[in-house]
Chain A
Amino acid sequence: EDQVTQSPEALRLQEGESSSLNCSYTVSGLRGLFWYRQDPGKGPEFLFTLYSAGEEKEKERLKATLTKKESFLHITAPKPEDSATYLCAVWAGTASKLTFGTGTRLQVTL
């Protein structure tokens, strides 16, 4: 069974304090790893898709990387508006579903 574990569960940063969120996965036949941002009571907002180890993608203050066992979401000089839950999800095997991790709740304070 596909497993996705995210750490830490919660992270509090000061504005400008860079950090990384981790997503470890155990799947059979990874086809894609996805990062989403979710604000309370709203739908997950797509951030990145990574397909193979060594791949990196960037968007504003966010950078996602992928290895054979885990993915990192690096947040550089975060701002309060980056506060949200960041979800990692994998697409593996022949299934069409995404398997999500439980997310990292990020709070960025002034």
Chain B
Amino acid sequence: AAGVIQSPRHLIKEKRETATLKCYPIPRHDTVYWYQQGPGQDPQFLISFYEKMQSDKGSIPDRFSAQQFSDYHSELNMSSLELGDSALYFCASSWGGGATDTQYFGPGTRLTVL
């Protein structure tokens, strides 16, 4: 079965640079979620989109922005990168937007900021 696709899988950036992470949800899923997982920590919710509209917002820095496009893929844009932004970034998708839908996670993008 098709899964969530994330690209790139690995990304190395310098401080103060920008990064763009992409997420392609499971076909027919209309909701996308972004999570950040630091070393040895649990995933922390950043932001979610349902039918191309932002549906919920968590602890996402103002330096980060995201959107969902007409084909339901999503991009997380990160500017003025800091060392503390180094983490695994997961995208998850579901269908239905807000009910008790199971979120299926992608393989993640490992971002390293030097």
Contact A100 B100 (CB under 8 A): no
Chain A residues, CB < 8 A from B58: 97
Contact A49 B88 (CB under 8 A): no
Contact B100 A51 (CB under 8 A): yes
Contact A43 B90 (CB under 8 A): yes
- Measured CA separation A46–B1 after assembly (Å): 14
Q: How large is the interface on B (under 10, 10 to 19, 20 to 34, 35 or more residues)?
A: 20 to 34
A53: Cβ under 8 A from any B Cβ: no
Q: Which residues of B contact A (CB under 8 A)?
A: 4, 31, 33, 35, 41-45, 48, 50, 55-56, 58, 88, 90, 97-100, 102-108, 110
Beyond A98-B43, A102-B41, A102-B42, 17 additional pairs, beta carbon < 8 A:
A31-B99, A34-B102, A41-B88, A41-B110, A42-B107, A42-B108, A43-B106, A43-B107, A43-B108, A44-B43, A91-B100, A95-B56, A97-B33, A97-B45, A98-B45, A98-B103, A100-B43
